[in-house]
Structures are given as structure tokens and as C-alpha cells.
């Protein structure tokens, strides 16, 4: 998985996540399993429908959409960790390039825009000097204060 980060503003970033077909295969296999549990085809037990029949009934694009929908959060989290992006809010994802639906070849490319923490540069505090005026307490001020007896 390849990720590029583009700063749109000090508080907004755009991540372009490219997922290879090999990295997408586990999500596609999981999508077939999940759809097989939902589809009822006479002659097959629930969850045991073969992939070619799922392709005929539901369509390969539906399987691909399910796989991307299920895997997108994981790809996003991995990209955030790898690129050390500090998101502050809800991301907005858009699939810009889909793999070929006939054989699932080609990369999946997703762009995600997310609000991020701004980088704040603090001044060098070692050069700052703070002067504190000495406090002088007179005996009269001490004698006028209430005393607590326990």
C-alpha cells in the first residue's frame, strides 16, 4: 500500500491511498464469504454458495464494492499511522480508481480529505527572562492576620 499526503491548508490534508490487487485479495475473499451467507440459492446451504454463482447473481462489481467498503477503514487507519497524520475529525473518502471488475486486476486508488491538527511552532523559551519583584512583609501585616487554632 502506497500513500501520499498533500497539505491543502494548515488544518486540512489529502491522503491518496493506493492499494495493490494482492493487498485487496483478502478483502475480496471476505466479501465473497459475507455475501454467501446472505444469498440463498436452491441446492446450496447458506454460506456455501461458490464464488462463480455469487458473480452471476449479485455481480462482481457488488462484490468489489463490498470488499472496498469493508476494507477502506483499515486502509485509512494504516495510512494515518504510516504517514504520521494526526486527524481531528471525520474523513471524507472518494474512490478515484477501481480495479478491473472482470479479474480484479489494477490498483484501487482512494483519496481521503481529513481535518488535521495544525502544526504550532513555539518560540524558544530559553531566551526569555522573567523578573519577579521581591515581596516585603512587615511585622504589622503579620500581626493583623487571623490565626487558626486547632
pLDDT for residue 145 is more than 70:
no
| Strand pairing class (12-19; 2-9) | antiparallel
User: How many other C-beta atoms can be found within 10 angstroms of the C-beta atom of residue 63?
Assistant: 22
Residue-wise pLDDT for 73-118, tens only, equals 999 999 999 999 999 999 999 999 998 888 888 999 999 999 999 9
Q: Which residues contact 65 (CB under 8 A, 6 or more apart)?
A: none
The pLDDT assigned to 150 comes to 47
What CATH number matches the domain at 2-121, 3.30.70.1050, 3.40.50.300, 3.90.226.10, 3.40.50.850?
3.30.70.1050
Domain chopping of the chain, boundaries: 2-121
Phi, psi dihedral angles at 66 (to 5 degrees): -65, -45
Helices (H), 39-147: 51-57, 60-83, 139-143
The pLDDT assigned to 148 comes to 55
Amino acid at each position: 500500500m502506497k500513500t501520499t499526503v498533500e497539505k491543502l491548508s494548515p488544518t486540512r490534508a489529502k491522503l491518496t491511498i493506493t492499494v495493490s490487487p494482492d493487498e485487496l485479495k483478502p478483502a475480496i475473499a471476505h466479501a465473497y464469504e459475507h455475501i454467501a451467507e446472505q444469498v440463498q440459492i436452491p441446492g446450496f446451504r447458506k454460506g456455501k454458495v461458490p464464488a462463480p454463482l455469487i458473480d452471476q447473481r449479485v455481480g462482481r462489481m457488488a462484490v468489489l464494492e463490498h470488499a472496498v467498503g469493508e476494507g477502506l477503514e483499515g486502509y485509512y487507519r494504516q495510512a494515518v499511522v504510516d504517514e504520521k497524520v494526526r486527524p481531528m475529525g471525520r474523513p471524507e473518502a472518494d474512490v478515484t480508481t477501481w480495479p478491473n471488475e472482470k479479474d480484479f486486476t489494477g490498483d484501487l486508488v482512494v483519496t481521503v480529505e481529513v481535518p488535521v491538527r495544525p502544526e504550532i511552532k513555539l518560540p524558544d523559551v530559553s531566551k526569555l527572562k522573567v523578573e519577579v519583584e521581591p515581596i516585603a512583609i512587615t511585622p504589622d501585616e503579620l500581626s493583623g492576620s487571623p490565626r487558626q487554632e486547632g
